[in-house]
Structure 1
C-alpha cells in the first residue's frame, strides 16, 4: 500500500519576470514520510520548493498541501544584527513573553505566544543537542560559522513542528560530526520531510526518491542508491529498445525500397510487352490499370509500416536520456615544482604550499577555515585568532568563496563574467558558459534568479576566463548546491588541473577524487596540523 500524498502538483507552471520558463505544467505527488528530491542543476528543484513554501507564486496551476509548510533555503540570508533566536524563528515569541512577564497585557503579545509558553525551555533543550544553549539566544549570528548557522536554522524548523518541512541542501557547510547530527534529526523527524541534497549518505535515509526531470516528477519507493540502480536498469532497457526499434525501421525501409524496385520492373516489362504488340491494347490497358492499383496499395502499406516503425523509434528515443556533460578544460598555468605558492602559519609552525600541490584544509565547524582563506586572499578576517595567518607568494590566484558573494545579483551571468574578464568578447564568454551547460536565455537572466548550481558555474567561469590562468585555485566548499553528477564532473576537471589547489570541503569523497597531496587541519584554537593520513 502506497503512502498517502502530502503535496500535490497540478499543471504547475512558473515563469520568471523576463518570461523564462522554469517549470511547465508540472504534475506529480510527493508522499508523506521522508523524500529525497533530486535532479540536475537548473531542473527547477529550488524553484519548486520555493513555490510549495509560498515564497513564489505560480504563473498557473495549483499546489495543494495537507498542512502548513516550513522551509529552509539553500542560502541563509540574515539581516545585520540577526541573532540565534531570529534564525530559530522564535525572536518575536520571546519578545512577547518578555513583555507579558513585564506586565504588558496587550493582546498582540498573547497572540504572538500562542501555545508556545514553554518555547524557551524547548529551545534550550534543542540547542543543547547542537552544542548551544538558551544563553546563546541573543548571540549574533555573525559570531557562528556557516555550518553552525545552518544547523541552528534546521533546529528552528524542528521547534516549529510544521506538518511539512522542505530542506534545500541542508548539508552545505556542515562538517562530518554535524552531518551525523543532521542525519539523526532526519531519522526522527516528525511529519513530512522533503530534502533536496547532493549528499549521498543523507539521501540513503530517505523513504522515497523523487526526481525532477524533463518537466516531470517521478517518485521511486526507496533511497537514492536503489533509485539509481533502478534508473540504470531502466536506461539500459531503453537503449536496447531504441536499438531494436532502429533496426526494425531499417528493415521496413529496405522492404519498401525492394517492393518499389520490383514494381518498377513490372511496369517496364508491361510497357515493353504492350509496345511489341504481343497482347491486345484493351487487355494491356486493363492489366496496367490493375497493376497501378496494386502498386498504390502496396506503396501505401509499406509507407504505413515505415511510419509506424518511425513512431516506435521516436517513442523509444524519448525514453533514453541524453544528459549533457560539463566540459571544463582548465588551462595549464605553468607552475614549477620548486615554486613556493603560499605559507600558512599558526605562530609555532609554518606550512608551505609548493608547486602544483593539492592541499585540503579541514576542521570542525567554527574552527575558522573560511576566515583563514579570507585573511589569506583579502587580508581580512580579524575574528580569527591573530596567530593563525598566511601569505600568498604569487599574484595569479583564483578564489571561489563559499557564499559566492562576488557576483552582482542584479546583473546577468554574461555581465558578471565580463566584469572579471573585460578583454574577453561576449561570444567567448557565452561559449565558456555553454561548456558549463549555461545556455540561451539563462545567461542573460539576473544572477538572483539562477539556481545555486547555476550561480556556482557562473563563479567558476570567472576563474576559468582569467588571463593569464591562476597558478593557485582556492575553493571554499565548491560542492555546495551542485547536483550529484556535477560534483563528479567538477572533481574530474580539477583532477586534471596542473596548478596548485587549496580546497576547503567537508565532502571527503569529493576530496578523495582530487588526489589530495596534503591535508591540513585547523583545530579551532588557531593551531595547524598536517595529517596526510586522513583518507587512509
Structure 2
C-alpha cells in the first residue's frame, strides 16, 4: 500500500533528555496514510518518538509536523478508580452542557461547547460496544460510573475509545494490546483496519504487526521503513544480515590472504637483500652499478612492501565496516534458578474459594506443570493469582504482577534488587542485573525513570534473585512491553525452567512456545478445563 500523502514528517529532529542522554539525532522521516508498525529494541526511543509526534515532547532541534488532529494512547494508562467513565472519555463537559440545554437552562456557551456533538453519548456507547466494553457501559446512564471495576485491558480499551471520539486524522498507539484478551485483540485489530487515517502502532504483538501496511524500524537513531507486513520486514532484515555475515567471512578471508602475501613479499625482499649484500661483498660489478642496483632495489622493496601493507589495511577496514552491519542486539539472559519440581509433588492446593469477581474456584497442581489461565478481561484471572499467593502456594514462589507495582520507585534498580535479595553481595547483584541489561550506571537509575520494557526487566531480575529461589513462577502478562529479541530469549529460558509455571496471557503463540500443557478458562461460572 502506497504511503501517500504524507501525514507525519520529521525534519532534522534531534531529541536529548535533560541529563544529556540522546534519543535521536538529525532524524528525517515521513509516515503516510495507512497502518505503520513501529518496532525496535527496548530503550531505542519508540515511545519518545510517539510523544514527539503527539506534541507531548518538543524536539531539542528540528521540526515535527502532523497533518490534522493527532490522538495518542500511551503505553501504561493508569486511572484514578474514582474517575467517571465520561471524564476519561473527555466528554463530561459536553454531557453537562447537553443536560442544561435539554432542561431549558442552557446558555450560548453551552451551545458552543456542544457544537456538532449532539449525539456524543450514542457515539460513545456505540464505540465502547464495538470495542467489547458492553459489560462496563450498557447504555448512556453507565457513562456516570466510576472506572474502579476496570481491568488493565478494559482500561486500555476505554482510553482508545476516548481517542477515537476525537475523530483524529493520526492515531498513535503505544503497545495497545497489552493485557487484552483474544476477543479484545480481534476487536482492536478491526478498529485499526477500519480507521481511515494514519495509524502508528508501537507493538511487540506479532499478529497485530502482521496486519500492518508497513513496518518502521527505529535503530541507532535512524528510522527505516519497509513496505509490507512484519514477515516481509523480518525476511528483509534476515537477508541483510546473511549478506553482512557473508561479507564478514569474505573480509576475514581476504585479511588472511593479504597477511600471507605480505609475509611472502617480506621473504622475497629478504632474499634480494641477501643477494645484494653478497654481490657487494664479492665486488663482481662496478661500484656505480651496484649503487644504482641498491637504490632500485630499495625503491622496489618499498613499493612492494607498501602495496601489501596498504592492501592489508584496506582488508581490515572492510572487515570493520562489515562487522558494523552485523547486528549484535543485547538480549536479556534469564538464568532461571535450578528449582526442580518432581512429578507428584504438590505445588498448588487452593481449596474452594470465592473470588472478588464472584466465582467460586478451586485448583490443585502437581509436579512441573505449565498452566495457562485464559479468559476475557476483568473475569478474575489476576484475582485468582492473588488467592494462590495468599493461601494456595505450597512451594517457594514468585509472582510477576501485571502492573509491575513491586518497586520502591524512589530508589535505584540495584537498591530494589538488594532489598529483595539481602543474602546477595553487591557483586552478585550487579552480575545478575547485567544479565537483564542493567550494566554499570544503568543499575543505579531510579526506577521512576524506567520505560515499560525496562521496568519489566528489573522486575524479573528482582524475582529471580530471591532467596529461596522460586519453584513456582506465576507470571501475569509477562510479555507486555518486551521487545521481540528479549521475548524470544524469555521463551527459551521458560522452556528450560524445571519448576512449575502458571501464566496469565492472551498471547496464544507465546503460550505454545513455552510449552503450556494445561489451559484453564476462568469464566462467570468458575474454573474449567480449556479443552472442555
TM-score normalised to the size of structure 2? 0.92
Matched, 1:162 2:168: yes
Deviation at 1:95, TM superposition (A): 3.1
Could you say which residue in structure 2 is the equivalent of 1:287? 293
| 1:363 and 1:524 in contact (8 A); partners too | no
SS of corresponding position for 1:152: helix
Could you say which residue in structure 2 is the equivalent of 1:29? 30
1:95-494 matches, within 5 Å, as 95-101=96-102, 109-110=110-111, 112-129=113-130, 130=132, 131=134, 132=137, 133-344=139-350, 345=352, 350-377=362-389, 379=390, 391-394=391-394, 396-494=396-494
Question: What do the CA deviations read for 1:243-271 (whole angstroms, capped 9, x no partner)?
Answer: 12222232223222222221222122111
- Measured in 2, the distance between the counterparts of 1:271 and 1:483 equals 68
SS of corresponding position for 1:37: strand
Could you say which residue in structure 1 is the equivalent of 2:84? 83
- Measured in 2, the distance between the counterparts of 1:312 and 1:341 equals 57
- Measured in 2, the distance between the counterparts of 1:438 and 1:300 equals 46
SS of corresponding position for 1:137: helix
| 2:209 and 2:230 in contact (8 A); partners too | yes
| 1:413 and 1:443 in contact (8 A); partners too | yes
Question: What do the CA deviations read for 1:369-418 (whole angstroms, capped 9, x no partner)?
Answer: 112222333x5xxxxxxxxxxx3243622111001011233322212212
- Measured in 1, the distance between the counterparts of 2:56 and 2:422 equals 36
| 1:29 and 1:217 in contact (8 A); partners too | no
SS of corresponding position for 1:411: coil
Deviation at 1:201, TM superposition (A): 1.3
SS of corresponding position for 1:275: helix
- Measured in 2, the distance between the counterparts of 1:342 and 1:519 equals 15
SS of corresponding position for 2:270: helix
- Measured in 1, the distance between the counterparts of 2:125 and 2:303 equals 84
SS of corresponding position for 2:216: strand
Could you say which residue in structure 2 is the equivalent of 1:66? 67
SS of corresponding position for 2:62: strand
- Measured in 2, the distance between the counterparts of 1:107 and 1:277 equals 118
TM-score normalised to the size of structure 1? 0.91
| 1:346 and 1:528 in contact (8 A); partners too | no
Deviation at 1:457, TM superposition (A): 0.6
SS of corresponding position for 1:171: coil
Could you say which residue in structure 1 is the equivalent of 2:40? 39
Could you say which residue in structure 2 is the equivalent of 1:530? 529
Question: What do the CA deviations read for 1:427-480 (whole angstroms, capped 9, x no partner)?
Answer: 222211211223243322222322211110100001110011012111111111
- Measured in 2, the distance between the counterparts of 1:9 and 1:359 equals 46
- Measured in 1, the distance between the counterparts of 2:274 and 2:94 equals 95
| 2:7 and 2:198 in contact (8 A); partners too | yes
In angstroms, what is the RMSD of aligned CA positions?
2.2
- Measured in 1, the distance between the counterparts of 2:59 and 2:86 equals 31
- Measured in 1, the distance between the counterparts of 2:150 and 2:432 equals 37
Could you say which residue in structure 2 is the equivalent of 1:49? 50
1:28–1:431 Cα change, 3 Å: farther
- Measured in 2, the distance between the counterparts of 1:422 and 1:322 equals 34
Runs of 5+ unmatched residues, structure 1: 380-390
Could you say which residue in structure 2 is the equivalent of 1:385? none
SS of corresponding position for 1:308: helix
- Measured in 2, the distance between the counterparts of 1:89 and 1:18 equals 34
| 2:332 and 2:435 in contact (8 A); partners too | yes
| 1:127 and 1:134 in contact (8 A); partners too | no
Deviation at 1:110, TM superposition (A): 4.9
- Measured in 2, the distance between the counterparts of 1:428 and 1:321 equals 29
Which stretch shows the higher mean deviation, 107-116 or 37-46?
Answer: 107-116
| 1:150 and 1:170 in contact (8 A); partners too | yes
Deviation at 1:485, TM superposition (A): 2.3
Question: What do the CA deviations read for 1:503-525 (whole angstroms, capped 9, x no partner)?
Answer: 11111111112222322211134
Which stretch shows the higher mean deviation, 138-147 or 115-124?
Answer: 115-124
User: Alignment length, in residue pairs?
Assistant: 520
- Measured in 1, the distance between the counterparts of 2:63 and 2:426 equals 40
Which stretch shows the higher mean deviation, 23-32 or 226-235?
Answer: 23-32
1:432–1:258 Cα change, 3 Å: same
- Measured in 2, the distance between the counterparts of 1:42 and 1:80 equals 30
